[in-house]
Amino acid sequence: MAAKFCPLTLLFLSLPVFAASECYYEGEFPAALQIEPAENGVDVVLGGNAAREPGKPGPVVSFDGKRWRVNEHREADATNDSSASCKEDIPLPALPYVEAIRFRDWAVFPDAVEQKVSVCERHGDIVFFGIEIYQGEGISGVGGVGRYDLKTGKLEVRRPILLRDSSVTAITYDGRHLWIGTGAQNECLGMRPTQGLIRYDWDTGLIAREEGFCGFIVHDLRFIRGVLWAASDMGVSRRGTEEYMEAWTHWTYDPTGDEPMREEGCMGLYARLLPTLSTEFRPAGGSAAQYFLEGLISAKPKAAIAVLHTQLTRK
C-alpha cells in the first residue's frame, strides 16, 4: 500500500534528488496521452493510473458530447502522443551562441547551444511549430515557437520570455491563439514541468499561462469543431467557446463510476490526489508526491499556495 502524504514531509519532498535518472513519473497520476476526433465527439487514450501496465497506454474512452464510455473497439496507439513529432520538413537554422545569450541568462554558460523542431501543426501552406531544447551534459538552448510558409519559404522564429527555458511538448492553433504545452528535457527520464499550458497571440505578441487548466505536462492539444481539447498528466480538459465564458471542464479516470470519467475542478482534483500519492522514493528518482508538488509549484504557483495551505492547516 502506498505511503500516505503528511504535511511534515514537505521539507523532505522539496530537497533535490541527486544522481537521479528520472525527472518525472506519471504512473500514479490520472494522465491522458492522446486525443483524436471521432464521428460524434472525441476519443481519448488514457495513461498513468489507468494503464494496464506501468508506462503503457491505458484504455481508450470516447465522449459523444454528453456521456463518456470505454471504447472497446479501439486499441491505444503505441506511440502514446499524437503530437509526438513534426512530420513537416522545416529548415530551422542553428542558433548562434552570441544570439542565444541575448535571450537567456545562464548561471553556468553551456558548451553548446542546440535546438530542433519538436511538434507542429499545418494550416494550408502555413506551419506553426514549437522548439525543443535539451538541457544537460554541457548543452542548452533557447525555447520558442515559429511559423513557416511552405509556399514562399519564409521562416519566422519567436522566443517569448515564458518559453525561453522550456521545450514545446504540444501545439495547436485556433485561428488567433497558439496553444503551447511546455516542459524541460534534462539529463533524466521524463519531461519536467515548467510553465504548464501557454496561450500566445501571434498577431499581438501577448502571452500568458492558462490558469484555468489543470495539467502540468501537456501531451496533446487539439482544436476540434471549434473547441480546444487537451490531454495532460492530470487528465483530459475541454475549453468552452466564447459563448460559454471560455471556461475549462476537466475529467479524470474513474473506474468505479457509472461513466469511466468523472468531472472535477482543479483544486478538488489536487486536494483529492495529493493524499493518495506515495512518498516513497522510486529506485530511479523521487516519489510520486514529490513529482506532483514540483509540477504544481512550477506550472500552477497560485494553486500550489492554496493546496499546501489547506494541507498544512488540516486537522
**What's the pLDDT score for residue 295?**
94
pLDDT for 244 equals: 56
Q: What is the pLDDT of residue 307?
A: 83
User: How would DSSP label each residue in 120-168?
Assistant: EEEETTEEEEEEE-B-BTTEE----EEEEETTT--EEEE--GGGTT-EE
What does pLDDT average to in each consecutive run of 10 residues of the chain (315 residues)?
42 42 93 93 95 84 94 66 74 92 87 95 96 94 97 97 96 95 92 96 95 95 94 95 74 94 96 94 90 94 83 67
pTM (2 d.p.)? 0.88
- Pair 138, 88: CB distance under 8 Å: no
Output the nine-digit C-alpha cell for 200.
Answer: 500566445
The Cβ of residue 250 has, within 10 Å, a number of other Cβ atoms equal to: 24
